């Protein structure tokens, strides 16, 4: 099989059974890509009336035919489940290295059913797939959990938010790449599944190497031409632009621009912090940025959505508080968009000054 590996792995955490089956080539072709495949599998395997946090819900990790190949930006993977936040079938995708590693381990789709009695993590080392005890990982946040498991491969895990079934909990991989939306971290927590660590050694088979290589080069050149802003600033480049166009979420979504937008913009961060680019697997854009020195050394530069949700949407122009809260959310495993927006709504409902939020963040520095 070309592009795909032809293998689905089904793990039932209730009885500990691990089954491998052949993926259906017609299905793979009809629902091309990780998202299409994940939603199709989910639709076929689950009935509409199940509770998202019950053992009847399933959690699916998928890769696509380009994942783990030389195609640019091909390190992505997709998670699909029923969301405890919306009650609908939900997909969330992430960059990083976890997706390509799943593919290297010959997994098109990893389907997780049931729920364990005690905390567990799944280890995939090519064909050696195990469910291991995770009592010593439970209660730890993302950074600690990833530190502990990363010697065995690339790690996707939940923090304490997922363990506590917070409906905006996410699943983080390799420390700061998030399947952020829809509360899929809570689904993982409901299954007592703390983490998945994966290491693979196989390459995806390409039907026509020469043509594929040519296509990859053309795609890379096109991407490079249109992505210099992303490479320089990351998605934070969008903040000033959205403010200029008056489509920036501000003041709990009641406004569309923010006077101090420039103070939480990508340009401001670049001028005031020593930052370096970071790339996901096989990505020439390197839109992720890390702060190299100073009080926030090693911290991630927040994405555009995090900047507006904790910044303008909360009438907050303290960039330090946003950098800090971004790290806190990534470590607890909480979606920054939902968290910032929820705080903005709460502040308005309670009639509270958002300063209380920034003070709280400062205290935790």
Query: Contact residues for ligand SF4 (CB under 6 A)?
Result: 73, 95, 279-280, 283, 285-288
Q: Token digits for 141?
A: 């946040």
Q: Tell the smallest beta-carbon distance from residue 196 to ligand SF4 (Å).
A: 19
Sequence-distant (6+) residues with CB within 8 A of 88 are 82
d(CA 142, CA 116): 20
- Sign of dihedral through CA atoms 26, 82, 158, 276? positive
Distances 213 to 69, 202, 208, 346 between C-alpha atoms, Å: 10, 18, 9, 51
Residue 241 or 279 having the CB closest to ligand SF4? 279
Residue 280 or 322 having the CB closest to ligand SF4? 280
Please count the other Cβ atoms lying within 10 Å of the Cβ belonging to residue 109. 27
Helix (H) or strand (E) holding 321: helix 319-332
Sequence-distant (6+) residues with CB within 8 A of 290 are 275, 276, 278, 298, 299, 300, 301
Residue 279 or 345 having the CB closest to ligand SF4? 279
Q: Tell the smallest beta-carbon distance from residue 94 to ligand SF4 (Å).
A: 8
Burial of 221 (0-12, 13-18, 19+ CB in 10 A): exposed
Give the residue among 97, 18, 19, 80 at the shortest CA–CA distance from 46.
Answer: 80
Q: Tell the smallest beta-carbon distance from residue 18 to ligand SF4 (Å).
A: 30
Give the residue among 66, 110, 78, 77 at the shortest CA–CA distance from 205.
Answer: 66
Q: Tell the smallest beta-carbon distance from residue 340 to ligand SF4 (Å).
A: 20
Residue 100 or 113 having the CB closest to ligand SF4? 100
Q: Tell the smallest beta-carbon distance from residue 95 to ligand SF4 (Å).
A: 3
* Strands 177-179, 154-157: pairing kind: unpaired
- Residue the block writes with tokens 């209730």: 14
Q: Tell the smallest beta-carbon distance from residue 16 to ligand SF4 (Å).
A: 35
Under DSSP, is residue 21 helix (H, G, I), strand (E, B) or coil? strand
- Residue 199's DSSP bridge partners are 125
Residue 76 or 194 having the CB closest to ligand SF4? 76
Residue 53 or 78 having the CB closest to ligand SF4? 78
Q: Tell the smallest beta-carbon distance from residue 263 to ligand SF4 (Å).
A: 24
Q: Tell the smallest beta-carbon distance from residue 276 to ligand SF4 (Å).
A: 13
d(CA 300, CA 322): 11
Residue 258 or 281 having the CB closest to ligand SF4? 281
Residue 280 or 301 having the CB closest to ligand SF4? 280
Q: Token digits for 137?
A: 């990982």
């Amino acid at each position: 099989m070309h592009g795909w590996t032809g293998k689905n792995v089904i793990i039932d955490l209730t009885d500990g059974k691990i089954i491998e089956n052949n993926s259906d080539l017609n299905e793979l072709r009809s629902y091309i890509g990780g998202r299409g495949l994940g939603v199709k599998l989910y639709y076929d395997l689950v009935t509409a009336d199940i509770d998202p946090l019950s053992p009847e819900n399933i959690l699916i990790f998928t890769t696509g035919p380009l994942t783990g190949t030389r195609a640019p930006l091909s390190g992505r993977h997709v998670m699909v489940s029923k969301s405890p936040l919306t009650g609908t079938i939900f997909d969330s995708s992430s960059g990083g290295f976890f997706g390509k590693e799943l593919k290297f381990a010959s997994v098109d789709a990893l389907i997780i059913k049931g729920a364990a009695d005690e905390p567990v993590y799944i280890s995939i080392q090519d064909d050696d797939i195990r469910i291991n005890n995770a009592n010593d990982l439970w209660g730890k946040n993302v950074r600690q959990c990833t530190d502990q498991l990363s010697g065995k491969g690339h790690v996707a895990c939940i923090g304490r938010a997922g363990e506590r079934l917070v409906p905006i909990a996410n699943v983080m991989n390799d420390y700061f790449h998030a399947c952020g939306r829809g509360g899929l971290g809570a689904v993982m927590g409901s299954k007592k599944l703390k983490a998945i660590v994966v290491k693979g050694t196989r390459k995806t088979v390409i039907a026509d190497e020469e043509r594929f290589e040519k296509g990859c080069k053309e795609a890379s050149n096109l991407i490079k031409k249109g992505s210099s802003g992303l490479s320089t600033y990351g998605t934070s480049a969008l903040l000033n632009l959205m403010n200029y166009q008056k489509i920036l979420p501000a003041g709990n979504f009641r406004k569309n621009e923010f006077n101090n937008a420039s103070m939480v913009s990508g340009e401001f961060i670049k001028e005031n912090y020593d930052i370096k680019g970071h790339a996901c697997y096989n990505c020439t854009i390197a839109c992720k940025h890390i702060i190299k020195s100073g009080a926030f050394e090693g911290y991630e530069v927040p994405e555009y959505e995090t900047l507006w949700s904790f910044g303008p949407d909360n009438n907050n122009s303290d960039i330090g508080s946003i950098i800090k809260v971004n790290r806190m959310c990534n470590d607890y495993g909480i979606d920054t968009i939902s968290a910032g927006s929820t705080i903005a709504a709460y502040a308005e409902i309670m009639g509270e000054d958002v300063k209380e939020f920034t003070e709280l963040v400062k205290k935790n520095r």
